[in-house]
Amino acid sequence: MKPFTNLLASVALGLAVGVTGMPAAAETPANMLVIANRIDDITTLDPAESFEFAGADVSRNVYSKLVNFDPLNLDAGYAPDLAASWTVSEDGKTITFTMREGVKFHSGNPVTAKDAEFSLRRAVILNKTPSFILTQFGFTPENVEQTIVAKGNTLTITTDKKYATSFVLNCLTATIGGIVDMKEVMAHEVDGDMGNAWLKTNTAGSGAYKLASWKPNESVTLVANPDFYLGAPAMERVIVRHVQESASQRLLLENGDIDVARNLNPEDVKGITGKPGVAIDSELRGRLMYLSLNQKHPVLSKPEVRTAIKYLIDYKGMQDSFLNGQYTIHENFLPATYLGAIDDQPYSLNVEKAKELLASAGVTNLEITAGVREAQERIEIAQSLQNTFAQAGIKLNLTVGTGKQILSKYRARELEMYIGAWGPDYPDPQTNAGTFAYNPDNSDEAKATGLLAWRNAWDTAGLTKEVEAAVVEGDRDVRKAMYEKIQREFLKSSPFAIMFQKIEQTGRSDKVKNLNLGGAVTAVSYWPVTK
């Protein structure tokens, strides 16, 4: 059907162009940014609760945080935002933030340390989905009155033990770190919900934009905050329109009715590449595609076999064919753009080498069963693996099931091999290091189902200690070097073969400048955009 429809499409288009010639494209106003995106994942705009991509896009532009990423220099890591500066205590457990003076909420209320105290305490007390990002530092609804305290224009937070300052601060850049307007929010409190019901559909921030309207599955409209402390944004209105279909987004972009199309599929990207007035950006995202080997398996736990499998993956072949424009080769557990990420790629398809390794381990007639979710790209990866494994005499069987079926087997350590994806939860290396390379108790009784290392029954060969050390290292650069070392060891000895990192392609009018989509660490920023 597909080639046929494509043929019909091009015939129709060709005819139409031939008959009429292309009409002049319309244009969006110079002070307005119009974006097509899939926004049906927004279920709440409350920063204490929001945990979806499109929600983070809104939140990043509406709520300032204590510390934040500079959209024009993401690699620099966290930088001062509402906190002008901070100091860390000797024992590394207490961070004292000094608030920036003269910043106002959209309501006109001044932003104070009290608001910051309220916002963080509120996120802990409400205990919604993303609250673990804060509570992993030992904050509980019971102790927040002692651990998160405002005094004058300073805010002091005290963690239960020493953590790397960069770990704590990276977590505060997540959506949950958004500082809300205490007076405004509490004025809308219902039944002790700390304004949660109201904040789901309204905003009370101090960021570059304020929310004009959110119509579910339809649009989000933001208007500029002229008093934004970094200066009034050039785009006075930002309209994000829900357009589900890639083809519709492409047409809108080509016709000049939108400035940015966020969800173009590879075919549509190919179709508009090189068209006058349109530019394509590739953006790295945090999601990784990997395979892992259960270390309970007598053969798969042999080091030579683990390495052989890593040589039996056609990384480049997959990247350049069915994953083109969606995934790029990445062999380490920290996604590119994360603190400590490295781009070493020691493995590539090498059947001879794999055969040697298998022979040296005395392995013949190996048959493995892998669990994979019924999603197109994953099945295609699995099929490619079947093919390359077979070249070295390994028979790969696939168990295909729904996400829930496969995941529950994986969590019960019942899969011999798993082919799947992992997405980081917050913009700090610990989010991945703490699951891929950390497993303090490898026994079945530990039931550490949240840890990928445990799910594969891998004792991490000493990396657990190193991950623990990296989490408490105060110096950002030293910490960075520690993660680099952990990953190099991980590449060699782990039963994980990380294969790809997600990329997203965005089409935009070439008039739109400085649009930063946030990479793997944060969300889109509209305030630096000019047209």
**Under 8 Å CB-to-CB from 205, ≥6 apart: which residues?**
62, 63, 64, 105, 106, 178, 179, 180, 181
Residues paired with residue 498 on neighbouring β-strands, in sequence order? 290
Does residue 31 interact with another protein by CB under 8 A? no
CB of 142 to another protein, least distance (A): 13
Q: Pick from 121, 241, 262, 297: which binds another protein (CB under 8 A)? A: 241
Closer Cβ to another protein, 10 or 443, answer by number: 10
Does residue 218 interact with another protein by CB under 8 A? yes
List the structure tokens of 246.
């890639």
SS3 99: strand
How far is Cα of residue 491 from the mean position of the Cα atoms in its chain?
A: 22
Does residue 447 interact with another protein by CB under 8 A? no
CB of 399 to another protein, least distance (A): 18
Q: Pick from 43, 348, 383, 386: which binds another protein (CB under 8 A)? A: 43
**Candidates 250-258, 272-280, 309-317, 386-394; binding stretch for another protein (CB under 8 A):** 250-258
**Under 8 Å CB-to-CB from 351, ≥6 apart: which residues?**
311, 312, 388, 391, 392
CB of 465 to another protein, least distance (A): 25
How far is Cα of residue 480 from the mean position of the Cα atoms in its chain?
A: 19
SS3 316: helix
Does residue 454 interact with another protein by CB under 8 A? no
Closer Cβ to another protein, 104 or 270, answer by number: 270
Does residue 439 interact with another protein by CB under 8 A? no
Does residue 16 interact with another protein by CB under 8 A? yes
Contact by Cβ (8 Å): 130, 176: yes
Residues 436, 419: Cα–Cα separation, whole Å: 14
Does residue 278 interact with another protein by CB under 8 A? no
Q: Which residue has the tokens 């991490």?
A: 460
Residues 292, 436: Cα–Cα separation, whole Å: 10
In angstroms and rounded to an integer, the radius of gyration of the C-alpha atoms of the chain is 25
Does residue 51 interact with another protein by CB under 8 A? yes
Closer Cβ to another protein, 40 or 320, answer by number: 40
Residues 210, 202: Cα–Cα separation, whole Å: 9
Q: Pick from 213, 321, 345, 387: which binds another protein (CB under 8 A)? A: 213
**Candidates 58-66, 234-242, 311-319, 495-503; binding stretch for another protein (CB under 8 A):** 234-242
Q: Pick from 31, 143, 216, 461: which binds another protein (CB under 8 A)? A: 216
The closest alpha carbon to 437, from 456, 415, 411, 409, belongs to 456
CB of 131 to another protein, least distance (A): 8
Looking at the chain, how many residues does it have? Answer: 531
How far is Cα of residue 129 from the mean position of the Cα atoms in its chain?
A: 16
CB of 269 to another protein, least distance (A): 17
Question: What is the x/- site pattern for another protein, positions 171-210, by CB under 8 A?
Answer: --------------------------x--xx---------
Closer Cβ to another protein, 241 or 302, answer by number: 241
Residues paired with residue 148 on neighbouring β-strands, in sequence order? 157
Q: Containing H/E element for 281?
A: strand 278-293
Backbone torsion region of residue 75, taken as left when φ is above 0, otherwise alpha when ψ lies between -120 and 50, otherwise beta? alpha
The closest alpha carbon to 455, from 409, 487, 489, 493, belongs to 409
Residues 242, 101: Cα–Cα separation, whole Å: 38
Does residue 9 interact with another protein by CB under 8 A? yes
Closer Cβ to another protein, 237 or 306, answer by number: 237
Residues 196, 119: Cα–Cα separation, whole Å: 12
CB of 17 to another protein, least distance (A): 6
Closer Cβ to another protein, 258 or 523, answer by number: 258
> How many beta carbons lie within 10 A of that of residue 24, not counting itself?
7
Q: If 0-12 CB within 10 Å is exposed, 13-18 middle and 19+ buried, where does residue 439 land? A: buried
**Candidates 6-14, 266-274, 320-328, 412-420; binding stretch for another protein (CB under 8 A):** 6-14
Residues 376, 266: Cα–Cα separation, whole Å: 15
Closer Cβ to another protein, 286 or 495, answer by number: 286
**Candidates 22-30, 171-179, 334-342, 454-462; binding stretch for another protein (CB under 8 A):** 22-30
Q: Pick from 239, 334, 385, 520: which binds another protein (CB under 8 A)? A: 239
Question: What is the x/- site pattern for another protein, positions 136-165, by CB under 8 A?
Answer: ------------------------------
Contact by Cβ (8 Å): 83, 97: yes
Does residue 44 interact with another protein by CB under 8 A? yes
Closer Cβ to another protein, 71 or 205, answer by number: 205
At residue 319, what are phi and psi to the nearest 5 degrees? -60, -40
Does residue 282 interact with another protein by CB under 8 A? no
Does residue 412 interact with another protein by CB under 8 A? no
Closer Cβ to another protein, 416 or 425, answer by number: 425
Contact by Cβ (8 Å): 517, 524: yes
**Candidates 68-76, 240-248, 312-320, 497-505; binding stretch for another protein (CB under 8 A):** 240-248
Find the DSSP H helices in 211-302: 246-254, 266-272
CB of 217 to another protein, least distance (A): 5
Closer Cβ to another protein, 253 or 309, answer by number: 253
Q: Which residues bind another protein (CB under 8 A)?
A: 5, 8-9, 12-13, 16-17, 20, 22-23, 28-29, 32, 34, 40, 43-44, 51, 127-130, 132, 197, 200-201, 213, 215-219, 221, 239, 241-245, 247-248, 251-252, 254-255, 257-258, 404, 425, 450
